[in-house]
Amino acid sequence: MKKIIYIIILNLILILNANAKSNNLTQVNELNKLFNDLSKINNIQDGDILEKKIWAVWNKHPNQNFLTQKLEFGTRLMYQGQYEYALKVFTNIIEIDPKWSEAWNKRATLLFLMKDYQKSLDDISKVLDLEPRHFGALSGRAQIYIDLELYQNALKDLKDAKKIHPVIRGNKLIDELEKLINGQNI
């Protein structure tokens, strides 16, 4: 009897694991298509539509709905100014699934709002390790670099974001930073 229960449990684990991999693959394929479409866009309106679709995929955990709900909850807390509570929520999500880039990105955003730039930069590095196309993380890191007056670093990140998202709204900062770096009036 124990052997049968063991086999049933093992089969359930294998089925759940296969389902999780399938969901993750579906999300990867969806992102690949969206990023391919985004690379061909040349107007802001279409870019905004694709950007929203990408964010929708990033904000949805590929196989654990309760983590999606926790991320939404933490985001609400962050926007309500309940930073310490939001930090606990995002950290908990990361502990449960350290491979979900958007949990790291949300915590990086929160740490930026808390003016803890170094920890935010650390989390952004993790985001970009997991999702190198994360134009939001690149733009966020550029903002930190601007606040720290590391304009060359900010310019590089904005240009990298533009390679991924050609019509990203942060593009207007590129010219301003180049003028600032070159000592021209902006």
Q: What is the pLDDT of residue 142?
A: 97
Is a pLDDT exceeding 50 seen at residue 15? Answer: no
- Residue 145, Cβ density class (10 Å: 0-12 exposed, 13-18 middle, ≥19 buried): buried
Q: pLDDT digits over 54-101, tens only?
A: 999 999 999 999 999 999 999 999 999 999 999 999 999 999 999 999
Q: What is the pLDDT of residue 170?
A: 87
Highest-pLDDT range among 11-20, 112-121, 177-186: 112-121
| CATH number of the domain bearing residue 39 | 1.25.40.10
Domain residues for the domain of 157 are 2-181
Is a pLDDT exceeding 70 seen at residue 16? Answer: no
Residue 86 domain-assigned?
yes
- Do you know the residue count of the chain? 186
Confidence band for 14, pLDDT divided at 50, 70 and 90:
very low
Residue 186 domain-assigned?
no
Collapsed DSSP state (helix, strand, coil) of residue 64: coil
Residue 26 domain-assigned?
yes
Q: What is the pLDDT of residue 186?
A: 56
Overall number of domains in the chain: 1
Q: pLDDT digits over 33-57, tens only?
A: 999 999 999 999 999 999 999 999 9
Residue 29 domain-assigned?
yes
**How many Å apart are CA 144 and CA 81, to the nearest integer?**
19
Query: How big is the CA angle at 109 (ends 64 and 79), to the nearest 5 degrees?
Result: 85
- Which stretches of 19-94 are assigned E, i.e. beta strand? none
Q: pLDDT digits over 139-153, tens only?
A: 999 999 999 999 999
Residue 63 domain-assigned?
yes
- Residue 52, Cβ density class (10 Å: 0-12 exposed, 13-18 middle, ≥19 buried): exposed
pTM of the model: 0.85
Residue 170 domain-assigned?
yes
- Residue 115, Cβ density class (10 Å: 0-12 exposed, 13-18 middle, ≥19 buried): exposed
